[in-house]
Amino acid sequence: MNVLIIGNGIAGNEVAFFLRRARPDCRITILSAERFPEYDPCSLPYFIGRDVPRDAVFRKDWQDYRTHRIQLVLDHPATAIDPAAREVTTAPGMRFGYDRLVLAHGGSLYIPPIEGIDRDGVHSCKQLGSADRLDQSGGSAAVVIGSGAIGIEAAEALKKRGYEVTIVELLDWILPALFDPETSQRLAANLEGCGIRVLTSEKVLRIEGAEKVSAVVTDKRRIPCDTVVIATGVVPGKALAQTAGIDVARGIRVDAHLQTSAAGIYACGDCVETVDACTGEDAMFQLKHNAVEQARVVARNLIGEPAAYPGAWAFARAHFFDTHAVTFGKTTRATQCELGQLEIIERDEGADYLRIITKEGRVVGGQAIGRFGDVIGLFIGAMWRKDAIPDIRANWPHIIRKGSPYPWTHRQLGESIGLKP
């Protein structure tokens, strides 16, 4: 079997190395748009912030590919797929045949249509190459456009490097996809406390500068700066598949075995649209653990195991300086258009905050700051199992002796939502 993988990222490597362990004899080739062994995009902000040396971002070294006989073709972004001929063309014009093809080329940075966005001094940290340029650029005042997890991490990194940092967010609160306003406002206050300026409900109109960036102009003010970081989200890479006639929606569409609409072509990672493992709804979470799990399902299908993918799960942390926050499942906003009785359980104790979202008595999501984060894993478990919160309340305080299949888990859950021991 000749397996061709497009993308040398988290998903592509997981497929390749998993496959190699199971099949010592098949041919495995990875087409890479970049010139590095596998690195972890999640680690990039911490290398920029000098928390770790650059080496620490890598998940593989060159030798790993040699040892596992995985052919890595650098600087060869795929430009076209011909499913009928089973062939992929790359930018330098080479053609690669395959028996099975895996699309694992992730997503690309969303570049908002802002005047001046191509100026010198406008950066991103989606890929190692761009992170390297940001790391080496030097400067003293930065504006981060977008306040998703990547924007917040980039802001912290630059603050640690001594920059004056401003975050500009178009929507009304930061981390809008991950947290509810109640949680976000606390996080924004903490960012301000660390000396990072946070501007919400503000639209960037243009980036000014002669040769180099000199300011960001919003609908409310002009912010002088020498560095701009674009962190406005990641769009799934679907054009390559779409042009080849493969079904796409928000991302590349796949069946339960992660096969695309074209036979013999699989897809995994940030480029696919899947379902939420808990709710069965369409999901586009673009998180590392989902990329890894999807890649393993693809690899198992390639070796003939009919593995089905149970779905993706939303889980993310927000961490800067001494602030530790986490979110999982759905936000209140995401549940608002749904039927069913919602209950928001909140604990608010100084720096510590807990927000659990339940629908019809079942946990569907949650957010925590500070010490409540220590028990968030128990709530994630309760969401997976669909534990009934009303039962925990009703059986309290006999929960440990009788009345629960997960006695001490439920006891801790009960205490966390404020039931008294």
Ligand X SMILES: Cc1cc2nc3c(=O)[nH]c(=O)nc-3n(C[C@H](O)[C@H](O)[C@H](O)COP(=O)(O)OP(=O)(O)OC[C@H]3O[C@@H](n4cnc5c(N)ncnc54)[C@H](O)[C@@H]3O)c2cc1C
| Smaller CB separation from ligand X, 58 or 406 | 58
Q: Binding another protein by CB under 8 A: which of 65, 96, 98, 315? A: 315
Burial tier of 157 (Cβ tally within 10 Å: 0-12, 13-18, 19+)? buried
Q: Is 386 in the site for another protein (CB under 8 A)?
A: no
Q: Is 43 in the site for another protein (CB under 8 A)?
A: yes
Q: Which residue is nearest to ligand X (CB)?
A: 9
Q: Report what 286 binds from another protein, ligand X, none; CB cut-off 5-8 Å by kind.
A: ligand X
Buried b / exposed e across 43-79, counting CB within 10 Å, b at 16+?
Answer: bbbbbbbeeeebeebeebeeebbeeeebebbeebebe
H helix or E strand, kind and range, residue 369: strand 362-369
**Listed residue (417, 408, 404, 288) closest to 349, CA to CA:** 417
Q: Binding another protein by CB under 8 A: which of 5, 16, 17, 46? A: 46
Identity of the residue numbered 256: A
Identity of the residue numbered 91: A
Question: In the complex, what is the shortest distance from the CB of residue 418 to ligand X, in angstroms, rounded to a whole number?
Answer: 30
Binding site for ligand X (CB under 6 A): 6-12, 31-34, 41-42, 44-45, 77-78, 104-106, 125-126, 149-150, 237, 240, 269-270, 286-289, 291, 316
| Smaller CB separation from another protein, 50 or 220 | 50
Lay out the site mask for another protein across 240-279 (x = CB under 8 A, - = otherwise).
----------------------------------------
Question: In the complex, what is the shortest distance from the CB of residue 247 to another protein, in angstroms, rounded to a whole number?
Answer: 28
Q: Is 374 in the site for another protein (CB under 8 A)?
A: yes
Alpha helices in 223-265 (DSSP H): 239-243
Q: Report what 87 binds from another protein, ligand X, none; CB cut-off 5-8 Å by kind.
A: none
| Smaller CB separation from ligand X, 296 or 410 | 296
Residue pair 105/65 in contact (Cβ under 8 Å)? The answer is no
Buried b / exposed e across 159-169, counting CB within 10 Å, b at 16+?
Answer: bbbebbbbbbb
Select from 40-48, 72-80, 90-98, 217-225 the region that touches another protein (CB under 8 A). 40-48
Question: In the complex, what is the shortest distance from the CB of residue 217 to ligand X, in angstroms, rounded to a whole number?
Answer: 26
Q: Long-range CB contacts (< 8 A, 24+ apart) of 297-301? A: 297/257, 297/258, 297/268, 298/11, 298/15, 298/102, 298/258, 298/266, 298/267, 298/268, 299/14, 299/15, 299/18, 299/19, 299/22, 300/18, 301/257, 301/258, 301/259, 301/266
Q: Report what 300 binds from another protein, ligand X, none; CB cut-off 5-8 Å by kind.
A: none
Q: Please state the φ and ψ torsions of residue 122, each to the nearest 5 degrees.
A: -95, 120
Residue pair 308/256 in contact (Cβ under 8 Å)? The answer is yes
Provide the CB-side half-sphere exposure for 372 (13 A, CA). Answer: 28
| Smaller CB separation from ligand X, 47 or 372 | 47
Q: Is 61 in the site for another protein (CB under 8 A)?
A: no
Question: In the complex, what is the shortest distance from the CB of residue 66 to another protein, in angstroms, rounded to a whole number?
Answer: 21
Strand partners, 199: 168
- Structure tokens that stand for 319 in this block: 């961490």
- Order the strands of the 215-218 sheet from edge to edge: 204-208, 215-218, 222-224
Q: Report what 115 binds from ligand X, another protein, none; CB cut-off 5-8 Å by kind.
A: none
Q: Report what 126 binds from ligand X, another protein, none; CB cut-off 5-8 Å by kind.
A: ligand X
Q: Is 292 in the site for another protein (CB under 8 A)?
A: yes
| Residue indicated by tokens 């340029």 | 133
- Structure tokens that stand for 193 in this block: 């406390």
Question: In the complex, what is the shortest distance from the CB of residue 367 to ligand X, in angstroms, rounded to a whole number?
Answer: 16
For another protein, the binding residues (CB under 8 A) are 40, 42-43, 46, 51-52, 56, 59, 288-289, 292-293, 315, 317, 319, 324, 326, 328, 368, 373-378, 380-381, 400, 407-408, 411-412, 421
